Structure 1
Amino acid sequence: MINLLSEQSESVRWRLMVGAAKKAAEAQGYSLARVPGRGLSNIWNITKDGKTTVAAIRTTRDRYIAFPPLKGGTKWKTLDDVETVIVATVDSKDDPENVEVYIFPADDVRKRFNAHYAARSKEGQTIKDNFGMWVGLDRDNRGIAASVGTGILDHYKRVAVYAISDLLGDNPHEEAGREEVEHAPETVEPSLSTIAEVMAWARDRVAQLAGVQVEAVKLDLKIEY
């Protein structure tokens, strides 16, 4: 089966998934207004039944979500500033057909990220401030540090599911999506300016996914002209 998302540009993929998150929240009775003055953060005021709270929208094409730790894991960029986390995720990272949307209380998400950070730190893994730290939406049963905090989907039902083909069929005009592209979500990776920094970041990401020490990951880089 053709992976429809893989055929789209990065901006189209992101806009499609953020659009799904907003559409689902609106179907749940929320009205959304982007919080001004937050740079590239994807932060929204969401209002329902006269009550307004602050939400972060996260999109994921591998069923992991990320927030960057700050101050040695005692704080979280963006996550500490919101009360709700709205997640749009593909149903399968390898063969996605649908976008699923979930709405989580930020307190639960913070609890899981705190536990994940503590478990990785206890194992001696290096975690840098302002690097995105990933936690799986699905339960990881390997019983390793990378497993801690995963499985939030065991406790919350999805609020909506949309076929990717239908979302693409909506065919939003480029002009209508321009503002959202300009306000794309904050990057959860650091600003990388050297090959060494990119390799260090990649080793950390691989180590987290594999549940091993960073020192156990060996990467080879080959550049062909």
Structure 2
Amino acid sequence: MANRLKDMGETASWRLMVSAAIEGAKKAGFEAKRQPGRGLSNTWELTKDGVTQVASVRTTRDRWIAFPPLDGGTRWKTLDNVELVLVAAADDYENPQNVDVYVFPAGEVRERFDASYKARIDNGHKVRNDYGMWVKLDAGDPSVPGQVGAGIAEEHPSIARFSIDELETQITPATEKAVEEATPEPEAAAEQPQADPTPVFTNVGGVLSWARAEIARLSGMSTDAIKLDLKIEA
């Protein structure tokens, strides 16, 4: 089954989902204005009822979001200086049909990231400074260090849902123009989802390396701690 977000390519799918986030905010009564000069850091001003708040926009196709820790987890890049986190999340990784939009208080997002960071460190995991650390939007298993802090989407229901068909045909010109003005910056690599995690492999070693990296991402453990045994029976 075709994955529509994957098939349209990284840049096009990113722009589509950022557009969904902005259209969702507008649907919820916010006026949205992108802060210039921030590239894929993607920071917007959201105004509602005369109150303007700064929002960090995140997109996710697998319903995990990332922020990079700084100074041993005492600060969070692109999170500490905002009041809101605006997220566009695909409804399904393998077969996305819709994009859900959420608005989270940044303070609560920080609390969850702090808890996740502490759980990983307390369990001997390595968390790199200035490199994205992932937390799950949906409910997780709190006994797994990498899933501590999960579930913010359970506490804050989505403010909007758009089908991919809607997004491809009904994005307003103003939103499309503002999103297209975003240009990649080096810091974005640690903050935004990377290339699709199902590459084409040319050897068994590549498969095992990818599997170890995925297990580490989901468990919050270092790849050095992941050992896989392969048995092939003819």
TM-score strictly above 0.5: yes
- Please list the CA deviations of residues 85-130 of structure 1 after superposition, one character each: whole Å capped at 9, or x if unmatched: 0000000111111000010000100000000000000011111100
For the 8 Å contact 1:42–1:186, the answer to whether it is kept is no
- With structure 2 as the length reference, what TM-score do the two structures score? 0.80
What is residue 140 of structure 2 aligned with on the other side?
140
1:104 is paired with a residue whose SS is: strand
1:4–1:165 contact (8 Å) kept in structure 2 = no
Residue pair 1:100, 1:158 contacting (<8 A) in 2 also = yes
CA contact (8 A) 1:18 1:57 kept: yes
Query: Which stretches in structure 1 are left out of the alignment for 5+ residues?
Result: 191-199, 220-225
**Please, which runs of 5 or more residues in structure 2 have no aligned partner?**
193-208, 229-234
Equivalent residues of 1:126, 1:214 under 8 A apart: no
Partner of 1:208: 217
Identical columns (%): 47
**Could you tell me which amino acid in structure 2 is paired with residue 3 of structure 1?**
N
Q: Match for 2:190 among 188, 205, 212?
A: 188
Q: Which moved more, 1:124-133 or 1:2-11?
A: 2-11
Query: By how many angstroms is 1:34 displaced?
Result: 1.4
1:60 equivalent to 2:69? Answer no
Which residue of structure 1 lines up, in the alignment, with residue 131 of structure 2?
A: 131
4+ long deviations beyond 4 Å: 200-205
**2:13: which partner in 1?**
13
Work out the CA distance in 2 between the residues paired with 1:38 and 1:6.
Answer: 25
Partners of 1:162 and 1:141 lie apart in 2 by 28
Partner of 2:204: none
TM-score by length of 1: 0.83
Give the aligned CA root-mean-square deviation in angstroms: 2.9
Match of 1:150 in 2: 150
Query: Who is 2:170 aligned against?
Result: 170
8 Å contact kept, 1:63–1:136: yes
AA aligned to 1:186 is A
Q: Read off the aligned partner of 1:109 and give its amino acid letter.
A: V
Q: Offset of 1:142 from its aligned partner?
A: 5.9
What is the total number of aligned residue pairs between the two structures? 211
Q: Check whether the contact 1:116–1:135 (CA below 8 A) recurs between aligned residues.
A: yes
